[in-house]
Structure 1
Amino acid sequence: MDSELYEAAVEGNVRSLVELLGKDKLLLDRIMTGNRNETPLHVATMLGHLDFVEEILVRKTELAREQDSQSLTPLHLAAAKGYLHIVESLVRVNPEICFVRDKYKRNPLHVAAMKGHVDVLECLVRATLDAAHSVVENGQTILHLCVKHNRLEALKLLIDILGDDQFINSRDEDGNTILHLAAVDGQTETIIFLTNKGVDPNITNSKGFTALGLLAQGQSMERALEIVNSVPQTSENHNPSKGTVFPNNTGTTFLPLTKKRDQEGRKKKVATRYA
């Protein structure tokens, strides 16, 4: 009868589910105590069978918290797939499952952020705001995951809701802020957004680099200057009297922007004078 139940889950066949449970009222209880890697709720959720999911939840809400061999709950799967209505149904019966972590220490909010499912992410954050502050492997926050996977819209949503300067300036185990990650990946739009939102560009990572220093490492000089010039002139690093100095691992130090412009201007005047 177990195999019939899983077949019904694959098909999303609510009628078969009801018939099976009519014959054996303890069927779902035995599933919970068995040695299967996945429950029928995992299977139905993964395949997006909303009616089947809701029928199981009416009869055995405890299944919502069950974890598979990867420590994933059905909510992790729904968040990964972007199934908003299933997410809403699962959270409704037990909001606390938002805190359950998989083997990588990721809860369903982390998964939704990584996949860029903004509507799902908003639903989960509104249900359990505290779950958004959980840290995953390597000391990374949910904001680090957004930048790492280049999910700018998810990042914008989280920063608007969380609005915590300390949190948005959090560093991972390597001392990197989310601005460091954006700089390494050359995410221009993200860099500008984060600077506008108050992420501190003066923070150094464990190797002594600021985010803009890393930007110069990974970009051509022209591209680095283009991005830096797009960043609002609000921080100490952008003070026109000090310029912006980019260290690199070749032993060369780029000139501050103001000095570079002055030198270029003098060269143009000399060239014009002797033309």
Structure 2
Amino acid sequence: MDMRLFQAADTGNINLLHHLLAQSSSILHTIALASNENPLHIASTAGHVEFVKEMIRLKPGFAKEVNQDGFSPIHLASAIGHLEIVKELLKVDRELWRLEARIEWTALHYAASRGRVDIIREMLLACPESIEDVNVHEETALHLAVKNSQFKAIHFMINWITGMKKDEILNMKDELGNSILHLATWRKHRQASYRMGTWQYCS
């Protein structure tokens, strides 16, 4: 990648981007020949919303590309917690949540493992069925939130699941046969109890 284009994406400098395009209208089309990372990856990581919007306008296909580590822009934005960027990316294609990164993690998996409740809310609003997606280890987003002690995310997802009457998701097991209750009990950081059809987390 032209280092000036990298700089523009990293700093969110739209004027520099347009200057580079004026010098070479093909600069965005030749990136794939020189780098596995495109400007949308960089801007999504850095959190530059306006630059992301402009890049999507110029090259929407960048939203579906993965970098050398197997991450797409929505994976990066979801893990870091850039809500507005996630919203912009979902405008390109609401099916972006289906993109899988390494070991079959989706954007929701990354958001849940980091406790990004606002991202989780947006993702479930856009694609409710994503709550059932599992990675290569048969872990749901809820499994990952429990494993990483993300209690606000756990509370939000359990309330959402019960509100949607999808209680069977609470009993889904990973490849080792662990449900979220098994994991919570094993980790001993919180006790989970099931009472009258409602999951409650107690300190």
Is TM > 0.5 for Structure 1 vs Structure 2?
yes
How far did 1:51 drift? 1.4
- What is the one-letter code of the residue matched to 2:150? R
User: 2:192 corresponds to which residue?
Assistant: 191
User: 1:179 corresponds to which residue?
Assistant: 181
User: 2:15 corresponds to which residue?
Assistant: 15
Alpha carbons 1:179, 1:199 under 8 Å: kept: no
User: 1:3 corresponds to which residue?
Assistant: 3
How far did 1:156 drift? 2.1
The equivalences for 1:18-97 within 5 A come to: 18-31=18-31, 33-97=32-96
> Which ranges in structure 1 are unaligned for 5 or more consecutive residues?
201-226, 231-275
Change (3 A) 1:160 1:48: same
How far did 1:183 drift? 0.2
The equivalences for 1:148-227 within 5 A come to: 148-163=147-162, 164-188=166-190, 190-192=191-193, 195-196=194-195, 198=197
Ranked by relative contact order (alpha carbons within 8 Å, sequence separation 6 or more), the top structure is 2
Change (3 A) 1:104 1:35: farther
Alpha carbons 1:79, 1:108 under 8 Å: kept: yes
Aligned counterparts of 2:112 and 2:62: Cα–Cα separation in 1: 24
User: 2:130 corresponds to which residue?
Assistant: 131
Q: What secondary structure is seen at the aligned counterpart in 2 of 1:72?
A: coil
Change (3 A) 1:183 1:26: same
Change (3 A) 1:23 1:103: same
TM-score, length basis structure 2: 0.90
Aligned counterparts of 1:176 and 1:118: Cα–Cα separation in 2: 23
How far did 1:73 drift? 0.5
Runs of 4+, deviation exceeding 3 Å: 196-200
How far did 1:131 drift? 2.1
TM-score, length basis structure 1: 0.67
How far did 1:159 drift? 2.3
- What is the one-letter code of the residue matched to 2:167? D
Aligned counterparts of 2:114 and 2:159: Cα–Cα separation in 1: 19
How far did 1:197 drift? 7.2
Aligned counterparts of 2:47 and 2:121: Cα–Cα separation in 1: 19
Change (3 A) 1:102 1:197: farther
Q: Are residues 1:145 and 2:144 paired?
A: yes
Aligned counterparts of 1:79 and 1:184: Cα–Cα separation in 2: 28
Alpha carbons 1:84, 1:120 under 8 Å: kept: yes
How far did 1:35 drift? 4.2
Q: What secondary structure is seen at the aligned counterpart in 2 of 1:29?
A: coil
Alpha carbons 1:100, 1:107 under 8 Å: kept: yes
Aligned residues: 198
Which one has a larger percent strand, Structure 1 or Structure 2?
2
Aligned counterparts of 2:23 and 2:87: Cα–Cα separation in 1: 30
What is the alpha-carbon root mean square deviation over aligned residues?
2.0
Provide, for residues 21-49 of structure 1, a one-character-per-residue CA deviation record: whole Å limited to 9, x for no partner: 22322221222x32413111111111111
Aligned-pair identity (%): 34
Q: What secondary structure is seen at the aligned counterpart in 2 of 1:135?
A: coil
How far did 1:2 drift? 2.0
Change (3 A) 1:13 1:118: same
